[in-house]
Amino acid sequence: MKNYILQNENAIYYECGYSCDNAIYIQLGSESFFITDGRYEIDAKENIKNNSEIVIAGDLTKLARKILKQNKIKKIHFDPNDFTLSTYENLTKKLDTKFIQSANFSKQKRIIKTQEEIALIKKAMQLGRKGFKKFQKYLLNDGYGKSEKYLANIATQYLTDKGNYPVSFDAIIAINENAAKPHAHPSEKIYKNGDLLLFDGGIKYKRYCSDRTVTFGAYLDDINSKQREQKFKSKKQQKVYDIVRRAQETTIKKARRGMSAKQIDAIGRNIIEKAGYGKYFVHSTGHGVGLDIHEYPFISSKSEIIIEDDMVFTVEPGIYLPEEFGVRIEDTVVIKNSKAEIL
């Protein structure tokens, strides 16, 4: 793609190593332009890693039009998900340049990670794991009697090392029937001894995201065991948990380079369906992780993407029984030497 224009912060960062909340990036062949306002001029000059020309303007779209006119650009690619309608209309008015819609082309460029990116994601995962362990200890010693909202705040403190790292997304803390909502919002529901608790969280390290989910059982006293090995007081909860665990571990074990994403999705989904819970697995098996918390490849029943080495994605099957409980187990993996390796 010779000519393209970007406004998404992570897409711009990927191109030049810097972005801010008010910028337009234009790539015209071998030339590139970083357009922003005076607030970010010093930062841009200090942090942009390629040879982009830094252009300061009060009206970014007006200057972008001027650059396209001066360079007599006949056509340029853009992501329709990237621009608001008003920005698009301002960019294209009184301009002969043809704007070609290329949805998610930046995410497509980022689908195979560099070794540096994989190392950053792995570091984010390791830091996040420390937070999970600290939070598990907190649940054992001080968690009972606290609300989901309170516990979500505590979990965030542990994940971020008291604010040293930003979160990838707002932490999900869901107890019993609230865990049946895949993206539950923390409520005033109180955590009691014997409850099932689902915790989904992640942080960013140098802008790269981590993502992990653990469903805690009733017996938190054995905190030194692997967090996947949970014990529940309810036989039904234990049965469902063990099915999800088998689906998740089998998917990771059998995922291979050269498979389509939908083939990987089918591995765990078939296990859950054969166990009689297929209709309660209501989302895809996973999604790519990188600068965005959700990016390519999507591991879904409809995705034809062929999996390659150095792709990074989550494996997170789940079973959600309305008004009862839900279970999800999630790790982020990278395909290395044809196999999935947990980060």
Phi, psi of 244 (to 5 degrees): -65, -40
Alpha-carbon distance of 113 to 260, in angstroms, equals: 18
Closest by CA to 44, choosing from 21, 64, 18, is 18
Distance in angstroms (rounded) separating the CA atoms of residues 202 and 153: 13
Q: Give the phi and the psi of residue 68 in degrees, each rounded to 5.
A: -65, -40
pLDDT value at residue 230 = 87
Residue 33 CA to residue 54 CA, distance in Å, equals: 6
> To the nearest 10°, the Cα dihedral for 13, 286, 154, 141?
-150
pLDDT, one tens digit per residue, over 262-293 is 999 999 999 999 999 999 999 999 999 999 99
Q: Which helix (H) or strand (E) is 158 found in, with range? A: helix 148-159
Distance of CA 10 to the CA centre of its chain: 12
- Which H or E element spans position 143? none
> Which whole number is the average pLDDT over 36-59?
95
CB distance 36 to 58 below 8 Å: no
Check pLDDT > 60 for residue 224. Answer: no
> What pTM was estimated for this model as a whole?
0.93
Q: How far apart are CA 297 and CA 313, in angstroms?
A: 7
147 versus 225: the higher-pLDDT residue is 147
Site of tokens 């050269």: 258
Model confidence pLDDT, tens digit, residues 52-103: 999 999 999 999 999 999 999 999 999 999 999 999 999 998 899 999 999 9
Residue 313: Cβ-neighbour burial (10 angstroms; 0-12, 13-18, 19+): buried
Residues 301-312 have pLDDT tens digits of 999 999 999 999
β-pairing, 23-28 vs 3-6, is antiparallel
Question: Residue holding tokens 């990771």?
Answer: 252
